[in-house]
Structure 1
Amino acid sequence: MFYASLFVDYFVNYLKRKLTYRSDFWIEMLSDLLFQGMNLIFILVVFLHTPLLGGWSQEQVVFIYGYFMVPYGIFGCFFNLWGFTERYIVKGEMDRILTRPAYNLWQIILENLDPASLSGTVVGLIIMGYAGAQLDLALAWYDPLLFVLFTVGAILIYGGVYISLTSVSFFSDAPTGILPLMWNIQNYGRYPVNIYNKTIKFVLTFVTPFAFVGFYPAAYFLDRDEWGWVALWTPVVGVVFLTIGLSLWNYGVKKYRGAGS
């Protein structure tokens, strides 16, 4: 309850800030939607030149992209850690965080909330609904529960990977070059993994498992006989990578000696 009340307080403060400058809020949300729209247009342009992509139709790839947007939007809301090094290590705000009783990572997550990113989740659900209707997907009664489970697993994967990378900041004040690279790699997860060569497929499945944040879970609903068994590993992979991320984070916090040390 204590951590839930902290979330409510921080969220209310976020709304107060954004309502003070409402134009900035709507511009930020519009820019996010335009960016996602450009990615969707790219997919549609690709299918102007080919009827299938790795054996997948346009509607199927659009469905995969829509699913990819759902956990990505939630991840963007809660794991907005891009400026961690500059703000908390270089400027020393980590010292302030560590003097408070709440868990340090939870405080940092709440201080950097970005609820505007949730618009991508809403759009992703709409895209999935449209593509699913075009494909006339037959869903079982338990599929909505699996969808939630897969989405949670995908968010845990995002969190685990980016918490791990952010933890590098405790040992080096210049890890920012890694994050843009990882951001580019994660975008491979919004396309069918079988269109890539074996090396990229291995990386997206076992090293940086971004195939589990988009393709594998979405493929469960499209062709569960072929991909269903892989998709069921999504929550397991999420727990494993989040555990790794939190372990690295906690180790880094123990090694942290304060600003200027």
Structure 2
Amino acid sequence: MRLLRLYVRLLGAHLRSLLEYEGDFWVMMIGTILMQVVNVVFLAALFAKVPAINGWSFWAVVAMFAMVAVAEGVGSLFFEGMWNIAWLINQADLDYMLVRPYPVVLQVSSITIGINGLSNILTGGIMLGAALSHVDVNWTPARVLLGIVVLLSAIVIKVAINLATNAASFWMQSPSPMFAFAVHQAGDLARFPLSVYPLALKAALGFVLPFAFVSFFPVSFVLGHGSAWVGLLTPLVAVYCVAIAAWVFSRGLRRYESAGS
């Protein structure tokens, strides 16, 4: 609980500093919301030409877009500092963190805050609510509970992938997270049904970099569509991703050698 309180206080300090510039805050919020609106307009234009994509309706695909938006929003709002790992390594700023009585991974994650994550969470939540209200789902207490667990697990998977790919910077010389950014861009493929991709890409998104468990499989489970049972594996995949991310970060931290000068 002490670690959690410290983490919240650090994020709160960054949030207060960002709110000092109200113009920047509202521009970023509005810009992020417009991006999600453009996504929905794009889908509407696409489905105006085709009734379904491999059996997936408009609202089912909107739910996938929403899941990605919410997961990215949580990652930006609460764990944006992960994207600074490469710069911290290059500038040897990790030296300061290593001597503080607070886990390095938490210090890194809370070093900044991505305020655009707030608008992503809001718009993603609205999109998800609208999508679920337009699909025929037999809502039972068990399905609601499992749906919440699957949603939270999907968010954990996205954050864990961000940490693992950014921690790869310990083995690279660049001050920018090029590898992590490339993987992040590949994650945009998870906005669409996995069934539309060739077998190799299905394997990559389902097992190598399990972005499919951020959107496709959780939505499949909630809607009872396609391989719905695979969605129940989302919590296990989340545990696996967290374990891998923690291992990669700890291994990288052990080989950290400061600036060398």
TM-score, structure 1 normalization? 0.92
The offset of 1:213, in angstroms, is: 0.1
1:122 counterpart residue number: 122
Count of aligned positions: 259
Q: SS of the residue aligned with 1:204?
A: helix
1:223 counterpart residue number: 224
The offset of 1:54, in angstroms, is: 1.0
Q: SS of the residue aligned with 1:206?
A: helix
2:76 counterpart residue number: 76
The offset of 1:133, in angstroms, is: 2.0
The whole-number CA distance in structure 2 between the counterparts of 1:14 and 1:204 is 34
- Post-superposition CA distance 1:16-61 (Å, at most 9, x none): 2122111111111112112222222221121122111111111221
Query: CA contact under 8 A between 1:139 and 1:221: conserved in structure 2?
Result: no
Is residue 12 of structure 1 aligned with residue 12 of structure 2?
A: yes
2:108 counterpart residue number: 108
Query: CA contact under 8 A between 1:69 and 1:124: conserved in structure 2?
Result: yes
What fraction of aligned residue pairs are identical, expressed as a percent? 29
Which segment is superposed worse, 187-196 or 162-171?
Answer: 162-171
Which segment is superposed worse, 169-178 or 40-49?
Answer: 169-178
Query: CA contact under 8 A between 1:64 and 1:219: conserved in structure 2?
Result: no
The whole-number CA distance in structure 1 between the counterparts of 2:257 and 2:192 is 43
Q: What does residue range 55-74 of structure 1 map to in structure 2 within 5 Å?
A: 55-74=55-74
The 1:162/1:170 distance shift into structure 2, 3 A limit, reads same
Which residue type is aligned with residue 223 of structure 1?
G
2:139 counterpart residue number: 139
The offset of 1:137, in angstroms, is: 2.6
The whole-number CA distance in structure 2 between the counterparts of 1:240 and 1:159 is 12
Q: SS of the residue aligned with 1:189?
A: helix
Query: CA contact under 8 A between 2:171 and 2:252: conserved in structure 1?
Result: yes
The whole-number CA distance in structure 1 between the counterparts of 2:12 and 2:72 is 23
Query: CA contact under 8 A between 1:217 and 1:234: conserved in structure 2?
Result: yes
TM-score, structure 2 normalization? 0.92
2:232 counterpart residue number: 232
CA RMSD for the aligned pairs? 1.7
Query: CA contact under 8 A between 2:28 and 2:115: conserved in structure 1?
Result: no
The offset of 1:215, in angstroms, is: 0.8
The 1:184/1:15 distance shift into structure 2, 3 A limit, reads closer
The 1:169/1:67 distance shift into structure 2, 3 A limit, reads closer
Q: Note the residue ranges of structure 1 that are not aligned, 5 or more in a row.
A: none
Query: CA contact under 8 A between 2:218 and 2:231: conserved in structure 1?
Result: yes
The offset of 1:115, in angstroms, is: 4.3
1:179 counterpart residue number: 180
Which segment is superposed worse, 123-132 or 92-101?
Answer: 123-132
The whole-number CA distance in structure 2 between the counterparts of 1:145 and 1:35 is 30
Q: Note the residue ranges of structure 2 that are not aligned, 5 or more in a row.
A: none
Which segment is superposed worse, 7-16 or 20-29?
Answer: 7-16
1:249 counterpart residue number: 249
The offset of 1:15, in angstroms, is: 2.9
2:260 counterpart residue number: 260
